[in-house]
Amino acid sequence: MNPGGKLSPDLRAAMLGSAPALVGVGAFSAVINILALTGSVYMLQIYDRVLPSQSVPTLVGFTIGMLGLYAVYGLLDFVRLRLLVRIGNRLHKTLQQQVFALSLSLPLLGGQNASRLQPLRDLDQLRAFLSGLGPTVIFDAPWIPFYLLVIYLLHPSLGLLATSGAIVVVLLTVIAEILGRGPAARASETLVSQRNLADSGRRNAEVVRAMGLSGRLAGRWSEINHAYLAHQERLSDIVGATGSLSRALRMALQSSVLGLGAYLVIGGEASPGVIIASSILLGRSLAPVDAALANWRGFVSFRQSYSQLTAALAAFGSRGELMQLPRPEAMLKVEDLTIAPPGQQKPTVTNVSFHLSCGAGMAIVGPSGSGKTTLVRALVGVWQPLRGMVRLDEASLDQWGHEQLGAYVGYLPQDVELFDGTVADNISRFGGAGDAKGVLAAARAAGVDKMIMRLPDGFQTRVGEGGAALSSGQRQLVGLARALYGDPFLVVLDEPNSNLDVDGDAALAGAILAVRRRGGIVIVVAHRPSALTNIDSVLVMANGTLHSFGSREEVLANVIRPFPSTAARSASAVPMQKGISGHA
């Protein structure tokens, strides 16, 4: 089930944690399958003992015993299903936090291919399958030979006929699995593409409406949906054909067993009860096959989800416990940093090196496409470098756990995304309502406290999905307050004034100065000159390389002329000021 042959330790631990309960399910299944002989034994006694003796008390005794055994059968089957529901829920609860964290990290680790991985959906699929009737097939299937053996004990000829028919029915099921595997995989892939396109359209609803893209996107969605339906039809045809053939063969087989039993009774080789008992036993022996065909889509979905979740957890899962490192307080060092977008090997930023001491403020400037945003994504640990290192106080970023590093880093991306919750929730990074002082301090540092208090419910105002209740400028200021929350050592702001007015620019300049005064490091990606207030050094990016780096006055004097072309990649850096160094 795991093509790569590597099982995630977390998934293995979760499965092993369910082992005792699965053993219990297996034990209940064993008793249930033995009790399933009740009908055959009852009919055998009716035909062989009750009818010849015409004894009503014997009939009543056998009937009471039969009803009691079936009551136990029903109770055990109910308990077995309850156990399976709890096994599915336990697996889900054990893995839910890690899988959710994985789903958040996949776009940053797997690039475009990550959109085809749906770990949360896969986990839900595992839980749904384990909580249903599908697993009972796995526990009941090993009992098929037992029922065939009982039929063989009734008469060898009946056993041979039943065994031959059962083999054919099982082979049909295997053929359905082999033929349906390809269409099922392709249907799953096209379904993911279909959902991704629909989600993308919803996220960009304004652009779609304003630019008249609805019809074109609908046409593209229809093409993907047509392919999905074609694969589904192919899968349904395969499963339907094998299922119909299996049912027809099974009914013919049961009738043949009845006919052969009658022939044996006529010849004096068997008693009349054998006819009915063997037919009931044959139906019971093939019940797991019926259940497998009825739950075929569940089996296919479970196999795909298990394989995909295993691969995702093994490739991108937890790195294990990392040692807690002290809060950084001295420097940021970048060493020969080469970066490519997630999932790609062609770098977009190459061989960038610089050093900043505590209290430094640096601006990153350069033309569009020069690699500024790519660089800052690596500085905060969002994108992993192909080569080189980013260090805080000599410790590379991969030595920090994400949660611990996040407490020491403040990041404001170009596109500010707020989460559905209150303003206080977003500023505190959903750390709870217990740190009102910290939330207020961050809002004051960003110069947004008065604006927030003018909102309908102040800090308890719900911002809506994506911050829809706020304007672009308000979202950017709330995002700035979130970046400053907890007094992080490294604050990285990517075009923080793109939606700000004059008052917002002043608040931004004050926030930058405050971070520097308390010994933090501020890095600002800037296109507007107002963002360079209270900045003492500038790094110029061009064509994915560090073009120059030094004091603000020196660097800006040198880049008044147009930014260099590819031929200028080897340009040497401007001499550094005290506490600042760098090279290309």
pLDDT interval class at 571 (50, 70, 90): very low
Hey, what amino acid is at 327? R
pLDDT of residue 552 exceeding 50, the answer is: yes
Q: Which of 279, 311, 343 delimits the end of a domain? A: 311
By C-alpha distance, which of 350, 327, 332 is closest to 537? 332
- Residue at 227 is within a domain: no
Last residue of a domain, one of 249, 280, 311: 311
295-327 residue pLDDT tens: 777 887 888 888 888 877 776 666 556 678 888
Q: What is the CATH number of the domain that holds 528?
A: 3.40.50.300
Asked if residue 337 and residue 246 are part of one domain, the reply reads no
When mean pLDDT is compared across 11-25, 139-153, 478-492, the lowest value belongs to 11-25
pLDDT above 50: residue 577: no
Whether residue 187 lies inside any domain: the answer is no
What CATH number does residue 107 fall under? 1.20.1560.10
User: pLDDT band at residue 73, thresholds of 50, 70 and 90?
Assistant: very high
- Whether the pLDDT of residue 563 is over 60: the answer is no
Give Cα separations from 66 to 35, 41, 77, 232, 277 (angstroms).
10, 9, 16, 44, 14
* H helix runs in 286-433, sequence order: 287-294, 296-316, 372-379, 402-408, 423-427
* Phi, psi angles (nearest 5°) of residue 271: -90, 160
Cα gap 493→390, rounded to integer Å: 17
Domain end among 282, 311, 340: 311
Q: Residues 368, 450: one domain?
A: yes
Q: For 538-554, give the DSSP string.
A: EEEEETTEEEEEEEHHH
In a domain, 186, yes or no: no
Asked if 277 and 340 sit in the same domain, the reply is no
pLDDT band at 114 (very low <50, low <70, confident <90, very high): low
- Domain coverage including residue 142: 9-177+241-311
Read off the pLDDT band of 7 (50, 70, 90): low
Contact 476, 496 (CB under 8 A): yes
CA–CA distance, 33 with 140 (Å, rounded to integer): 7
544 belongs to a structural domain: yes
| Order of strands, sheet of 395-396, starting from the edge strand that comes earlier in the sequence | 395-396, 387-392, 331-339, 349-357, 580-583
Residue 576 has pLDDT above 50, yes or no: no
Q: Are residues 169 and 31 in the same domain?
A: yes
pLDDT at position 71: 95
Closest CA to 380 of 232, 511, 494: 494
Output the furthest CA–CA distance in the chain (Å, rounded). 116
pLDDT at 375: 92
Sheet (strand 361-365) strand order: 409-412, 490-494, 521-525, 361-365, 537-542, 545-551
254 and 345 in a single domain? The answer is: no
Q: How large is the average pLDDT for residues 50-64?
A: 91
Tell me how many domains the chain contains. 2
Model confidence at 433: pLDDT above 70 = no
Please tell me the predicted confidence (pLDDT) of residue 569. Answer: 37
* Residues 343 and 271 reside in one and the same domain: no
- From residue 114, how far is each of 17, 92, 303, 333, 461 by CA, in Å? 29, 21, 19, 30, 34
Which tops the pLDDT comparison, 226 or 344? 226
Q: What percent of the chain has pLDDT over 90?
A: 17
Ramachandran assignment for 361, one of left (phi > 0), alpha (psi -120 to 50 degrees), beta (any other): beta
Q: Is 576 helix (H, G, I), strand (E, B) or coil?
A: coil
Q: How far apart are CA 141 and CA 289, in angstroms?
A: 8
Is the residue at 270 inside a domain? Answer: yes
